[in-house]
């Protein structure tokens, strides 16, 4: 099922990329003949289905996304992609960890202190976090912690990965942190009002055990559902943050592939496919996670089959 989805997505992507305006071989200095030759080399003059077939063959049989047309002057995508993926995945991963962790803590704190300081604090923070774009927060962090006080590098520096990923990771985590905090609070509040929590409390259950075993566990399903797409977003890079902070990641690569000198079909396609594949994979994991988190889903699924 997942593979079929991916196949359909690949085909649609392939069509859309071919329709996009722009020239894969922008050149002011090459003759029309030379450009025609380049197009022929890349098979761009073949019927679209033949092109797609060849592309698919290349991706599946050789595991290769081919060569770029204009970006990096036609270097094989395999020389460029791994570094970008590593950077985006690492920074995205850190920001997810930070975002989820702080978000959960904030949400729990708010739910347990409904109507009091922590609750208001958490609500305000969530609103700010959702409203303020991550790159604005990043520029703010950059200004105070890399310019006013030079704790962190002003631009991304791969040789000091940890210290230079703090600013982008923190700013990227803001959105997921706020989203997670808001959902955690709301779900927990709902669960806390339910009869079974009242029953548990009346039976003398309290404290950490009650929160983790009964309240949080029941609240986790919706929370995990919102985290999943955030994970893909963060892993595949943040366009603006990467561009401003100078991170060689997937987001920046996408911008360069589309709005560089020319449009680079193969890079756009490769990135689209990676994004879709990741999305599908995460959704698959999500489905499995549901069952683990909630026995009711497991039993339901068992009955149906």
Name the phi and psi angles at 76, rounded to 5.
-60, 140
Least gap, CB of 12 to another protein (angstroms): 23
The answer to the question of residue 90 lying near another protein (CB under 8 A) is no
Which region, judged by CB under 8 A, interacts with another protein, from 20-28, 179-187, 212-220, 295-303?
20-28
Residues with Cβ within 8 Å of residue 152, at least 6 apart in sequence = 145, 146, 163, 164, 166, 167
The answer to the question of residue 163 lying near another protein (CB under 8 A) is yes
The answer to the question of residue 284 lying near another protein (CB under 8 A) is no
The answer to the question of residue 300 lying near another protein (CB under 8 A) is no
Nearer to another protein, 31 or 305 (CB): 31
- Angle formed by the axes of helices 250-259 and 77-112, nearest 10°: 130
The rounded distance, in Å, linking the Cα atoms of 227 and 99 is: 10
User: 10, 220, 263, 271: which one contacts another protein (CB under 8 A)?
Assistant: 263
User: 3, 4, 19, 33: which one contacts another protein (CB under 8 A)?
Assistant: 33
Number of C-beta neighbours around residue 61 at 10 A = 8
Least gap, CB of 125 to another protein (angstroms): 11
Binding to another protein, residues 194-223 (CB under 8 A) = 207, 211
Binding mask 220-249 for another protein (x = CB under 8 A): -----------------------xx-xxx-
Binding to another protein, residues 128-147 (CB under 8 A) = 142-143, 146-147
The answer to the question of residue 21 lying near another protein (CB under 8 A) is yes
Number of C-beta neighbours around residue 46 at 10 A = 13
The answer to the question of residue 52 lying near another protein (CB under 8 A) is no
Least gap, CB of 276 to another protein (angstroms): 22
**Alpha carbons within 13 A on the beta-carbon side of 195:** 0
Which region, judged by CB under 8 A, interacts with another protein, from 45-53, 94-102, 181-189, 212-220?
94-102
- DSSP characters for 138-187? HHHHHIIIIIIS-SS-SS--GGGHHHHHHHHHHHHHHHHHHHHHHHHHHH
Place of tokens 């709005």: 259
User: 15, 43, 62, 79: which one contacts another protein (CB under 8 A)?
Assistant: 79
Least gap, CB of 229 to another protein (angstroms): 23
**Alpha carbons within 13 A on the beta-carbon side of 131:** 6
Q: Which whole-number Å values give the CA distances from 43 to 32, 86, 182, 262, in the listed order?
A: 16, 31, 50, 18
Number of C-beta neighbours around residue 37 at 10 A = 12
Least gap, CB of 54 to another protein (angstroms): 18
Nearer to another protein, 29 or 303 (CB): 29
């Amino acid at each position: 099922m997942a593979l079929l989805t991916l196949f359909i997505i690949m085909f649609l992507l392939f069509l859309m990329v071919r329709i996009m305006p722009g020239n894969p071989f922008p050149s002011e200095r090459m003759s029309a003949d030379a450009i025609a030759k380049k197009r022929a080399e890349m098979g761009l003059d073949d019927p679209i289905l033949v092109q797609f077939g060849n592309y698919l063959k290349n991706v599946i049989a050789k595991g290769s996304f081919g060569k770029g047309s204009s970006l990096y002057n036609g270097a094989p995508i395999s020389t460029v992609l791994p570094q970008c993926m590593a950077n985006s995945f690492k920074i995205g991963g850190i920001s997810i960890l930070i975002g989820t962790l702080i978000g959960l803590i904030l949400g729990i704190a708010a739910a347990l202190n409904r109507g009091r300081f922590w609750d208001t604090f958490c609500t305000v923070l969530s609103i700010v976090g959702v409203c303020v774009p991550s790159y604005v927060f990043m520029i703010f962090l950059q200004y105070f912690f890399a310019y006013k006080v030079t704790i962190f590098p002003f631009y991304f520096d791969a040789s000091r990965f940890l210290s230079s990923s703090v600013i982008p990771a923190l700013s990227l985590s803001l959105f997921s942190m706020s989203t997670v905090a808001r959902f955690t609070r709301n779900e927990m509040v709902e669960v806390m009002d339910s009869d079974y929590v009242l029953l548990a409390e009346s039976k003398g259950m309290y404290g950490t055990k009650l929160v983790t075993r009964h309240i949080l566990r029941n609240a986790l399903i919706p929370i995990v559902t919102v985290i999943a797409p955030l994970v893909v977003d963060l892993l595949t890079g943040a366009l603006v943050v990467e561009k401003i902070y100078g991170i060689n990641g997937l987001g920046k690569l996408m911008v360069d592939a589309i709005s560089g000198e020319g449009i680079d079909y193969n890079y756009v396609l490769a990135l689209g496919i990676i994004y879709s594949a990741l999305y599908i994979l995460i959704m698959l994991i999500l489905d499995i996670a549901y069952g683990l988190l909630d026995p009711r889903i497991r039993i339901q699924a068992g009955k149906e089959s």
